[in-house]
Structure 1
């Protein structure tokens, strides 16, 4: 019978290496049966945080709880967690079933029972029939599934993923992330997942913890982070944003009239007071058309255009500075040098809280 999923809680956890602070006074809770992603640029502390959950690093300060039990001083072997590494770390000389059965065997489970446990998890990840293949005979996506099966075979309270898709090509990444999400939901697993890829984080997560400079910049649901970023860093890191200067000229309850260049926009104030404000404008909140056409906006000149199949990307110079525009319509390609009108939608424009 599978174990119940466990919560993970950090209480004011810090990790220092000499004078370098890799994780700085971090507190969060991962609810049982949810997938929470630690997201951020290289060096922000996300992988160290994952290794602190696993017991591969020991906290310098603070308390780490798993399933309500204090594991702060427990070794990795004494914590009921499993990790799927970026490199998969499969044994090349062992078959698929031998790789998956390795963990139970090391823990003293009889060989026949260990293979039975392994076969069950191999079936769960969709690799039944490939038990006797060697890792070199498998695709990258299949190797990733073997690594997941090996992590699942001991039925840990918490499953950890460290950049699990970084070795896969773009199309396979999408498929495997869907597989991981479906498995997590089907088996009701508690998962902590590390990535630097914001699209990946938005696709798989119940909640996202965005890290910057060893601290938590913001945490919330994918939609909350995209639509209500706490600051300039989060707005720019999740989903790209044009950061524009504006002036809040009139407060109207929770909303305000904000002047941006020649335009006046009616937007949610998000606590901002009258005076200078910064706006995060999503690239898909901008619409590009021939100069003088379209909704209220600003004139500009196309500096660069890229055709990406599903969309066109433009860099447009304007009185507001360079604007990054994503046009999903693809009705017309505007070559560099074209004079264009950049229209502003109401959705996708967010006032950044004053900090």
Structure 2
């Protein structure tokens, strides 16, 4: 169970259950190529992106996270751990249209102040929210990117986990 301010629970959930309880979330397979402070270069579908990365404790590196801050990993020479592959949580507002990644719009739902989109991408289905009325319709090819991601400490054990969305 996670107890804390709503912003903390939404932006930094302790597990996949808390993440989905507080809103739409998608899971992406990423490789951490380099870490520098709160920013990292990650590969998503073979494309390198510079993103803000948050992680509870010290789990940003690959595989093993130790409660005392130690990490079992190789280092990239810049103070960050190289990762062979991690699963990251992204919220719809952390993605944006435009960028080096491609996908197809599966659906668009106008919500008044914003539009929720469901995208089919090389990393699976993801949810994206954008302010304003719909700019894209189902079937359109689009480009997208992400600005931020969050590593859940237990998401790697969620083998059957799939994207979840508030969109119908």
Please, what TM-score do these two structures have when normalized by structure 1? 0.33
The structure with the larger Rg is 1
Contact 2:16 2:154 in 1 (8 A): no
Residues 263 and 279 from structure 1, CA distance in 2 versus in 1: closer, same or farther, beyond 3 angstroms?
same
Paired position in structure 2 for 1:277 = 86
The 3-state SS of whatever aligns with 1:220 is: coil
The 3-state SS of whatever aligns with 2:129 is: strand
Deviation at 1:251, TM superposition (A): 4.2
Paired position in structure 1 for 2:24 = 240
- Looking at structure 1, the residues matched to 128 and 33 of structure 2 have their Cα atoms a distance apart, in angstroms, of 26
- Looking at structure 1, the residues matched to 87 and 95 of structure 2 have their Cα atoms a distance apart, in angstroms, of 17
Paired position in structure 1 for 2:54 = 268
Structure 2 spans left out of the alignment, 5+ residues: 63-82, 156-168
Paired position in structure 2 for 1:339 = 141
- The structure with the greater share of residues assigned to helix is 1
Residues 354 and 307 from structure 1, CA distance in 2 versus in 1: closer, same or farther, beyond 3 angstroms?
closer
Residues 350 and 328 from structure 1, CA distance in 2 versus in 1: closer, same or farther, beyond 3 angstroms?
same
Matches within 5 A, 1:1-355: 216=1, 218-252=2-36, 256-261=40-45, 262-266=47-51, 267-270=53-56, 271-272=58-59, 273-274=61-62, 275=83, 276-288=85-97, 294=98, 296-330=99-133, 332-346=134-148, 349-354=149-154
- Looking at structure 2, the residues matched to 324 and 316 of structure 1 have their Cα atoms a distance apart, in angstroms, of 6
Deviation at 1:230, TM superposition (A): 0.8
Deviation at 1:264, TM superposition (A): 2.7
In the comparison of the two structures, how many residue pairs are matched? 130
Q: CA RMSD of the aligned region, Å?
A: 2.2
Residues 284 and 264 from structure 1, CA distance in 2 versus in 1: closer, same or farther, beyond 3 angstroms?
same
Contact 1:254 1:269 in 2 (8 A): no
- Looking at structure 2, the residues matched to 338 and 255 of structure 1 have their Cα atoms a distance apart, in angstroms, of 31
Higher-RCO chain (CA-CA 8 Å, sequence separation at least 6): 2
Deviation at 1:281, TM superposition (A): 0.8
- Looking at structure 2, the residues matched to 245 and 327 of structure 1 have their Cα atoms a distance apart, in angstroms, of 22
- Looking at structure 1, the residues matched to 123 and 27 of structure 2 have their Cα atoms a distance apart, in angstroms, of 10
Contact 1:277 1:352 in 2 (8 A): no
Contact 2:103 2:120 in 1 (8 A): yes
Contact 1:255 1:269 in 2 (8 A): no
- Looking at structure 2, the residues matched to 327 and 319 of structure 1 have their Cα atoms a distance apart, in angstroms, of 21
- Looking at structure 1, the residues matched to 94 and 37 of structure 2 have their Cα atoms a distance apart, in angstroms, of 24
Deviation at 1:321, TM superposition (A): 0.7
